[in-house]
Chains A and B, each alone.
Chain A
Amino acid sequence: MNHLQTLLTSLTLGIETALCVIVFVRRVQRVLPFFAIYASVLLAHTIGMWTVYETFGFHSLTGYYCYWISLLLNAGARSLAIAELCRYKLRMYQGIWGLVWRLLAGVSMLFLLHAAIDTWGQPNRLAIYSLTLDRDLDIASVAILAALLLVHNYYGLSLEPLQRIIAAGICLICAVDVIGDTILRVLFTGYLSPILSANSPPLWSSLQHQFERVEGIWGTIHLICFMAAMGIWCYAVRKPIPVRIEAPEMLPAEVYRELSPAINLRLSAFNDRLAELLKP
């Protein structure tokens, strides 16, 4: 690692530690246990990778394997945090939650299936597997959060500030990761693929410097965005979090059963009349 990367990694470690401390001091684990686990996984990932790099070296095979495997562990922990975020407030609205969890589960399954198929077709290298899977999981995460926000908007529900800020941080990380993973994937499977597969040291040595330079620049951008996201989360959990959110007062089930078909009928009649207007 160069000086800049060491500095940025130290800063990341500092912010991750601060986040973990705030999360556990504020007892966020009582409200959002999977988010607390995710924050811990991030810290463990950074400490673990630092230790591995210090012990085995930055370009070692152990470092390579540890990095790509921990990347997938991160993605898994983040997915659980997102699932929890989806359930956090919507579960209060029993009817909507009963409808929406299936929709969100369907969207998740669709993207996971896509990720599996996409990864399956890649050359047999751990880096490509992890990159593809991580990128597709990032896209899935953003899509699920988008679906969650659309559902909230559609039903006129407001997101809790905590939920909104955590979602914004996850989106930032995912969007930056999608770009980064795609750049690396294109390099590995496209432009650099012949060089890597032909095992031609002269060609690689001529490109290695430029490749590492670009990788360094991207790594810096990535770490800055990552720190920004964690800063956003620190801000979100700076105040004590209420263990219970106010439950809405529900209407009797008969109201929906009687009114919903009536409203739909009126809306349908409205559309029919509009369609009539368009007839020649």
Chain B
Amino acid sequence: MNDFSIAILLAIALFGVLVWLLIPKHKSSRTAPGSFHPDVFGALPTARHYGYFPQVRQALSAADSRYLLETAPPHVAKQALRERRAVARRFLRGLHEDFSNLAKLGRMIAALSPEVSREQETERLILSLKFQILYTLVWLRLSTGTLPLQQLEHLTGLVGRLATRMDEAMAKISALSARPLPGGLGA
């Protein structure tokens, strides 16, 4: 590929990316930090999907799987296990959303802070990139059936603790603010 082809491809690619970035996202719930809706923090739960874990755990329990394999016809058991993995993948997607919300909260706070630490921001960016890679790998292992479903329980336990601590942190934000922050922040 010569210089000419590279430049043209680069120009087209860059222009495409810019057009994509420039198009306003009407469907997105994006809110500029400078114009927070009163419920913006309320609409940004840090761990919403964690709440559904007991039901998911029941549906994915090892005992259930064993029972299915022992009693149901092979094709029915196979089908059921496939569907369970699909449920697990959806749940994992939900956990991804929880992670994204937490990271987004961090970015919002950074945007509204008069001072920002380069180290903290770089660390968060790296953590987010790392999470994307790990999430993809876990998702692939879950899809191929090489990841025991029970292991998800540990992950969810972490998200649960995270939710509690973030609620405490939200209360701190309200306490630290000179005036009452938009509703829902400390709730």
Contacts and interface: CB of A to CB of B under 8 A. Distances in A.
Nearest to A172: B15
Interface string A249-275: 111111111111111101111110111
B32 interface: yes
B137 A278 contact: yes
B177 A260 contact: no
A93 B14 CA distance: 26
A154 B125 CA distance: 9
B60 interface: no
B93 interface: no
Nearest to B169: A259
A10 to B, nearest CB: 28
A143 B143 CA distance: 38
A3 B118 CA distance: 57
A175 B34 contact: no
Contacts of A277: 138, 141, 147, 151-152, 154-155
Nearest to B140: A278
Interface string A94-129: 111011000000000000000000000000000000
A274 B110 contact: no
Given A186-B2, A266-B102, A267-B128, A278 B111 contact: no
Contacts of B24: 158, 164
Nearest to A261: B120
Interface residues of A, number: 67
A247 B33 CA distance: 10
Contacts of B113: 95, 250-251, 253, 255-256, 260
B8 interface: yes
Interface in B20-52: 21-22, 24, 30-35
Contacts of A268: 123, 127
A188 B67 CA distance: 76
Given A250-B112, A271-B134, A171 B102 contact: no
Contacts of A276: 151, 154
Interface string B72-84: 0000000000000
Interface in B132-187: 134-135, 137-138, 141, 147, 151-152, 154-155, 158-159, 162, 165-166, 169, 172-173, 176-178, 181
A156 interface: yes
Interface string A212-254: 0000000000000000000000000000000000111111111
Interface stretch (A37-45, A78-86, A145-153): A145-153
Given A94-B114, A155-B107, A267-B99, A262 B124 contact: no
Contact of B158 (A167, A251, A260, A269): A269
Contacts of B14: 139, 142-143, 146, 171, 175
A258 to B, nearest CB: 6
Given A175-B12, A178-B11, A278 B141 contact: yes
A168 B130 contact: no
A183 B141 CA distance: 48
A157 interface: yes
Given A186-B3, A249-B34, A269-B158, A260 B18 contact: no
B166 A266 contact: yes
Interface in A161-219: 164, 167-168, 171-172, 174-176, 178-179, 182-183, 185-186
Given A96-B110, A156-B108, A256-B113, A146 B35 contact: no
Given A142-B15, A267-B131, A249 B108 contact: no
Given A164-B22, A182-B8, A256-B110, 5 more contacts: A95-B114, A186-B2, A255-B109, A260-B120, A267-B124
Lowest 10 CB-CB distances: which A-B pairs, in order? Answer: A248-B34, A95-B116, A256-B113, A182-B7, A274-B134, A175-B15, A149-B21, A263-B106, A178-B11, A158-B32
Interface of B: 2-4, 7-8, 10-12, 14-15, 17-19, 21-22, 24, 30-35, 99, 102-118, 120-121, 123-125, 127-128, 130-131, 134-135, 137-138, 141, 147, 151-152, 154-155, 158-159, 162, 165-166, 169, 172-173, 176-178, 181
